Amino acid sequence: MVDAQVPDPTNFREQFRKPTGFMGKVAAFLMSIGNAPANRLAVAALSLGPADRVLELGFGHGRTLEAIARIAEDGFAAGVDPADTMVGQVARRNANAIRAGRMEVKLGTVSRIPYPDGHFDKVVTVNTIYFWPDHGNDAKEIRRVLKDGGLLVVGFRVLEVEGPDRWTPAEGLPYFFTSDARRILETAGFRDVSAQVKKTPLMWVAMMTARK
C-alpha cells in the first residue's frame, strides 16, 4: 500500500496498509489471493505493449509487477512501495530481472515518487487510494512521472450501486467512490477519466482510467 504514515504493528489490519515483519508477510500472502482478480483487471486495463515502461505504486506481494514484466518483455517494470519488507522480498524473487535492467523496486510513497518527470508510459495502483495522505497532491505527483498521453489505472473496492456514479463501500473494508476518484484525477489535470465497475469472485471492483 502507498502511504507515508507509520502503521501500528500490533494491529493486523494495519498490515494491509504497510506490511512489516512476519505478520506483514502473512498479510501480503492474503492480499495476493484476495486481490488477484482485481489485479488481473488492472493489468488488462493497462493494454500493455512489449516495450512499455510501467510503474506500479504499492506493489505489495509483487505478483502484479511480475505479470507486467512478463508482458512488457522489452520494456521496464518498476515498483514503489513504502514497506521495506515487501521491497526486499520482491527484489530477491526477481533478482534476475533486476540484474538485467528489466525491473526495479524502490522504497517510496505516492507522495514522493523516486523517479523523474515523464519517466513512464503507464502507472497502475490497486487498493491504495484509500490511504493516500493527500489525494490532490498525490494525484499530481503520479501525473508528474507519466509521459504526455500516458495512461493511469486506479483500482479500488466497491459493493453496489448507490447512484449513477456512486457506490456503497465494501462492508468492513476500506472504500472509495468513483465520483470522488474522478474529481481528484480531473482536478490534478488528468483527462479522459472513466470508470468501469466489475464483479470479481469476492467483491465489486472499480477501475478508473485516465490520461495525462
- Is 53:120 a contact under the CB 8 Å cutoff? yes
- Is 13:73 a contact under the CB 8 Å cutoff? no
* pLDDT score, position 159: 62
**How buried is residue 7: exposed, middle or buried, by Cβ count under 10 Å (0-12/13-18/19+)?**
buried
The CA distance from 89 to 92, in Å, is 5
The CA distance from 154 to 42, in Å, is 8
Is position 41 within any domain? yes
Is position 5 within any domain? no
**How buried is residue 11: exposed, middle or buried, by Cβ count under 10 Å (0-12/13-18/19+)?**
exposed
H/E stretch holding 43 reads helix 36-46
Q: Residue-wise pLDDT tens for the chain (212 aa)?
A: 343 333 344 443 444 445 554 444 444 444 544 578 889 999 999 999 999 999 999 999 899 999 999 999 999 999 999 999 889 999 999 999 999 999 999 999 999 999 999 999 999 999 999 899 999 999 999 999 999 999 999 999 886 555 544 444 445 566 788 999 999 999 999 999 999 998 887 778 899 999 99
CA distances from 19 to 51, 140, 184 (A): 31, 25, 26
Is position 3 within any domain? no
Domain of 104, CATH number, reads 3.40.50.150
* pLDDT score, position 13: 46
Is position 2 within any domain? no
Residue from 133, 2, 35, 20 nearest 86 by CA: 20
DSSP strand E in 60-212: where? 76-81, 103-107, 120-126, 146-158, 161-163, 166-167, 191-199, 204-211
Phi, psi (deg, nearest 5) at residue 36: -55, -45
**How buried is residue 56: exposed, middle or buried, by Cβ count under 10 Å (0-12/13-18/19+)?**
buried
CA distances from 59 to 17, 165, 201 (A): 11, 27, 21
* pLDDT score, position 79: 98
* pLDDT score, position 175: 72
* pLDDT score, position 125: 97
Is position 19 within any domain? yes
CA distances from 108 to 36, 37, 87, 175 (A): 23, 25, 10, 23
Structural domains of the chain, count: 1
